[in-house]
Structures are given as C-alpha cells and as structure tokens.
C-alpha cells in the first residue's frame, strides 16, 4: 500500500515543540482537518483522544500511530509530525515519542483500516527508515522520503 496517497504534503509537519501528548493530538487533528473540512477539528481531536483513553497508540522506539473513526467521511486520510523533542506518551518501552502518524478513517471502515495500520506499523518497524525520518529536518524532504517508501510485501 502506498501510504503517500493518504498523506497530503501539507499534512506533514517538522519540528514543532508540542510539549505534551494532548497538544500533539490537537496539532494532528488540525492537520487532519485540512483534508476533511466538513468535520470540525474539535471532533477529530475528541476521536483521537477517546482512542488514546482505550490504550496508548505508541508502538515503542519513539513512534506512535494515533487513529480514529469518524462519521461523515468517505475516505481515510493521514497526518504526520516529527517533533524536535520527544514527549511522554505512555509507550510500552517508556521511551519518549517524537514521530507521530495520525489516521482518520470512515466510521464503517473495516479491513482497509487494518491494512493501513499494518502498513504504517511495517514502515515504522524498519529501524533504518525511522532513522532516516529522524535525520530529516525539511518537511519537503521528509514527505519525499515517505512518498518513496514501499513495503517489502504486497499489502
């Protein structure tokens, strides 16, 4: 699966200092709202926050994939932030999170939602790729790197 088709370039942000999980989720919801203007940003934020209350979406090694299902959207969309300084995120390994990918999918999304999460998890499990993400401080270069990533197996 080519994740770049779900991630507009204007929804990739480098270098913000959010200082907290909550502020990071707010920022991600603002970015996601660019693709789904008919959904209030506050509703997107609430959805991300509710999912986090079920359990942390941190994968460990400094990465997290907060996600939500939303009524009244027809296709999935993503946003990404790469923080200059990691934040406390209740990660399973206790490490601060500095790379966050947010995903919003239609409320009735089924296996496609899981395929997207699996592709993201595969990409973020690639330590070499994650190190490349961390070493990029230019949003355009970061987006280009994300656009060129391909899974090792068909999704």
What are the pLDDT digits (tens) for 83-104? Answer: 999 999 999 999 999 999 999 9
The CA–CA distances, whole Å, from 145 to 12, 48, 140, 149 equal 11, 26, 9, 6
Q: Provide the residue ranges of all domains of the chain, joining segments of one domain with +.
A: 3-148
What is the pLDDT at residue 109? 79
What is the pLDDT at residue 135? 92
What is the pLDDT at residue 111? 80
Does 153 score more than 70 pLDDT? no
Instruction: Respond yes or no: is residue 152 known to be catalytic.
Output: no
- Average confidence (pLDDT) over 127-146: 92
pLDDT tens digits, one per residue of 20-72: 999 999 999 999 999 999 999 999 999 999 999 999 999 999 999 999 999 99
- Picking from 116, 64, 117, 68, the residue whose alpha carbon sits closest to that of residue 92 is 64
DSSP class of residue 4 equals: G
The fold adopted by the segment(s) 3-148 is: Mannitol-specific EII; Chain A (3.40.930)
Of 67, 113, 127, 152, which is the active-site residue? 67
What is the pLDDT at residue 152? 64
The answer to whether 86 and 16 have CB atoms below 8 angstroms apart is no
pLDDT tens digits, one per residue of 118-128: 899 899 999 99
Quickly tell me which residue has 């500095």 as its tokens: 98
What is the pLDDT at residue 155? 42
């Amino acid at each position: 699966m080519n994740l770049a088709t779900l991630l507009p370039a204007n929804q990739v942000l480098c270098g913000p200092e959010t200082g907290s999980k909550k502020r990071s989720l707010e920022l991600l919801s603002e970015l996601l709202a660019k693709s789904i203007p008919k959904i209030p940003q506050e509703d997107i934020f609430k959805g991300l926050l509710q999912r986090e209350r079920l359990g942390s979406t941190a994968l460990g090694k400094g990465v997290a994939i907060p996600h939500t299902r939303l009524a009244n959207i027809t296709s999935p969309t993503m946003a990404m932030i790469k923080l200059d300084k990691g934040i406390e995120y209740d990660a399973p390994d206790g490490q601060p999170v500095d790379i966050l990918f947010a995903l919003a999918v239609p409320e009735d999304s089924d296996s496609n939602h899981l395929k997207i999460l699996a592709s993201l998890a595969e990409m973020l499990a690639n330590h070499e790729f994650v190190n490349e993400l961390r070493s990029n401080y230019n949003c355009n270069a970061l987006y280009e790197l994300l656009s060129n990533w391909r899974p090792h197996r068909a999704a």
